[in-house]
Amino acid sequence: MYNNNEQKRCSDVSHSQTVGVRGPVLVQDTVLHETLETFVFSTTRPRRIHTKGYGAFGYFYTTHSMKQYTKAGFLQTTNQQIPVAVRFSLASGNQGTPDTSRNVRGFSTRFYTDEGIFDLLCNHLPVFFVRDAIRVPDIISHLSPSPVNNLPDPERLWSLFAKYPEATNMLMWLFSDMGTVKSLRHIKGYSVSTYVWQNAQGIRHYVKYHWRPMAGVEYITQQEAQWLACQDPDIAGRDLYDNIEKGNAVEYELCVQLMNPEDAKLLPFDPLDDTKVWDENQYPLLPVGRMVLNHNPENYAEQVEKLAFNPANLLPGLEFSDDKVLQGRTFIYPDAQRHRLGPDFRNIPVNKQPNWSPSCMVSSGNGRYVSGEIMRSEIPNPDNFAQATQKYESFSAAEKKNLVNNISSGLIDAQPNTQYIVLCHLEQVSPALAEMARNQMLLYADTKEK
């Protein structure tokens, strides 16, 4: 039997076990070891990309039956309602990156359906830097800080656009005012990659997904973004959380563009190229449903950071296409989640799918006949500049001026050869754009010299 003093000592774990009052601390103190090790291993490994993010929860309901195009159960009849989880994120940077930085915003949605989990991974810009997943690690390297001093390096960023002419369309989008955002309630979402819908009769369509904010679209200028980065670097996350906490639901409409795969033979570009968009006049947006985000996470670490998205989480009637970026992503995402969360990540509550097994995964293309020579090759119709030109010409005079200022203020700090190549690419987009960028860079250079 312990006496009262002994019981008090046994229950007092606010002190390490020592020899006498001063110590030293004993290696045998398992309470100390367990306390410290529990602390060390209590945090989840950060994501390699899309590190900083915010989450919200709610529901999705179908407003228009898509039975004609897909056999996915939750899209068959109107007013079907299912739970959803959403994570908004910054594609590059770290947990301290300001929300208003020039960046790609991730917009990933998990649908918890009766048939299983469907993950729809979107970005707030409709195009990507490259068209082949094998180039993605190099892109991430260019978007990362210098390995020498861990500081932002303009040369690393701008040499990306010099190295990959296909990234020029992304340059038009990212360095317009659409690259700077202060509210996640006011951004669009695009699947970027092309998926496939298959109906009950086995007919397939290419599909691109679009989210449209019901509160309207808003972007900010580079000047406002830089000011807010100092005043409130977490403004987008705070805005999302506070609005939901006040009872103001955040809503988005889901639309799709559908294309007959045979159209690929007639288009001047490859519709599976992630550096391209589809003409909305030729392939109009069809309304599908509405998403309502109406409650915040109760435990961020468990409900948001442990969300393990995977573009291969599909359902019967929802498949992935031959899009090279998408196919690469379907391989690496589950591996990344195992590395980050452990091999049992699918049993974490927010990822749990009842009775899951590998046989639950949807393999794309059953019934298709595919033949050809195995090779490593560029696509037949790369066309790196036509859509970049179209995007530039769609801007107003003020938007063109902001684009020039945004490009020039960064490009001025790159190496001369990199500047030359990027300006040559801009020349392909618009001689006027390239000339204005050159002139603006000269003004910046004069200012720096003074």
Alpha-carbon span 89 to 139, nearest angstrom:
18
Alpha-carbon span 48 to 372, nearest angstrom:
35
Specify whether the CB–CB gap between 409 and 380 falls below 8 A: no
Alpha-carbon span 164 to 161, nearest angstrom:
5
Does the active-site annotation cover 123?
yes
Pairing of the two strands 195-198 and 318-320: antiparallel
Alpha-carbon span 76 to 62, nearest angstrom:
8
Amino acid making up residue 144: S
Does the active-site annotation cover 339?
no
| Sign of the dihedral through C-alpha 343, 142, 430, 212 | positive
Specify whether the CB–CB gap between 364 and 319 falls below 8 A: yes
Amino acid making up residue 303: Q
Specify whether the CB–CB gap between 275 and 231 falls below 8 A: no
Specify whether the CB–CB gap between 310 and 326 falls below 8 A: no
Q: Which residues contact 445 (CB under 8 A, 6 or more apart)?
A: 412
Counting every residue written for the chain, the total comes to 450
Quick check: helix, strand or coil at residue 240? helix
Of residues 345, 289, 313, 330, the one with CA closest to residue 133: 330
Specify whether the CB–CB gap between 155 and 414 falls below 8 A: yes
Active-site position among 123, 384, 402, 406:
123
Which residues are registered as beta bridge partners of 206?
196, 259
Q: Under the phi-then-psi rule, with left for phi > 0, alpha for psi from -120 to 50, and beta for the rest, what region is 316?
A: beta
Count other Cβ atoms within 10 Å, centred on residue 445.
12
Would you give the distance in Å from CA 341 to the centre of its chain? 19
Query: Which two tokens mark 315?
Result: 């359902």
Residue with tokens 């296909």: 166
Active-site position among 3, 5, 33, 50:
50
Catalytically active residues, by annotation: 50, 123
